[in-house]
Amino acid sequence: MNDIGGLVIQKLDESFKAKKKRDRLDRALEASVNHASSIGWLDDCPRHLVLMRLAPGKEEKTEDFDYITEEGHFQEKILGQQLTEAGLAIAPAGPMVSTELQLKGEADWILTEDGLKYPLDGKSCSSQMFREISHYKTSDDLLSSKAIWLRHYPAQMYSYIALYGLAVSLLLFRNKENGKKHAINVPWSSEKGNRYLDGLKEINGLVSREELPAVIDNEGICLRCGFCNSVCYAEGNTPKAAATLIDDDDLRAALDRRAELERFSKEFNSLDKQIKERFDKQPGSWLVGDFIITNKPYNSTTYDVPEEIKKQYAKASARNKFSFKNLAGAL
């Protein structure tokens, strides 16, 4: 076999795709219930939850998304191993179903500490996302995140608390690049928890009557939804649907960071100009705090070419014009 590397990759890809196909089939078969991991959609778009029940096969997921999810599962296994090695008493949580709420969920583990039990879910993330998450202390911080999937975690944890009949749940984030951890306790809150549970009852009513809530027409959310191009904007009746959805945490974090730096770059340019103007007319060096400022005059040459001569050398070339629209304000 000449291309053993190619064969290995081909076999891995085939096995991955077959597994994902089975997962999707299982998920479609489970459309008779709501899933704890999706309940956070109640805050963003109840229609999404109704579609998950009535048209689960239409939810589009990119191949990148599948690979990220698969990698997340491997990372969670590593986390489980580390928790056990640390002497923490964890056991598989097992699936739980509430027939009353038509709700199914399965936390990763049940942690027992000092006689108390906690549903515990492990979440892996990139370094860039971890930097953002490590500033979060409470479920309210998660709920105000710009990242839709982070906003959905508290609802998932409230669902686990309701399903397992416990008081406090725990989210444990793991940076998949350096293994650092960050924990956020999610205690039961009657106000927030019951809001989700009541919302679920409404979803169940809509599903039984096969009633679909109207589209929310919020591009910040819809472009992150798997039903965008397949159901809600399938006719292409909005330019918003023309964008291709990419599920890439790192790219998202890079764009968030770019937006942060853009703000700093404006401040930098303004301060740079202000400081240089102060020393503009005086060659020399000055010591200010930890900085030496030097202004050294030099000669530069410019060419004052008449417009008609310039035109003779004009050459057209194709360029790309990028624009970055920040949808965060729309959320």
Rounded distance, CA 197 to CA 175, Å? 31
Give the residue with the Cβ less far from ligand SF4, 163 or 232: 232
At closest approach, how far in Å is the CB of 84 from ligand SF4?
A: 39
Given the complex with ligand SF4, which of 170 and 222 has the nearer CB atom? 222
Residues 109 and 92 sit within 8 Å (Cβ to Cβ): yes
Q: Which residues bind ligand SF4 (CB under 6 A)?
A: 45, 47-48, 51, 215-216, 221-222, 225, 227-228, 232
Our CB check for ligand SF4 shows the closer of 42 and 228 to be: 228
Is-contact 16 67, C-beta < 8 A?
Answer: yes
Minimum gap (Å) between residue 211 Cβ and ligand SF4 = 14
Say how many CA atoms lie within 13 Å of 274 toward its Cβ: 6
Name the minimum Å distance from CB 60 to ligand SF4: 10
Return the exposure string of 228-241: e unless at least 16 CB atoms fall within 10 Å of the residue's CB, then b: bbbbbbeeeeeebb
Find, among 76, 183, 95, 192, the residue nearest to 134 by Cα.
183
Q: Following CA atoms 124, 125, 126, 129 in sequence, which dihedral angle do they give, to the nearest 10 degrees? A: -160
Compute the least distance from the CB of residue 129 to ligand SF4, in Å.
22
Residue nearest to ligand SF4 (CB): 225
Q: What phi and psi, each to the nearest 5 degrees, are found at residue 284? A: 145, -170
- Compare residues 37 and 169 and give the one whose CB is closer to ligand SF4: 37
Q: Supply the DSSP symbol for 239.
A: G
Query: By C-beta, is 142 or 148 nearer to ligand SF4?
Result: 148
Beta carbon nearer to ligand SF4, 172 or 241: 241
The minimum distance between CB 152 and ligand SF4, in angstroms, equals: 12
Q: Beta strands 168-175 and 116-125: pairing type? A: parallel
> CB–CB of 67/13 below 8 Å?
no
Minimum CB separation of residue 151 from ligand SF4 in Å reads 13
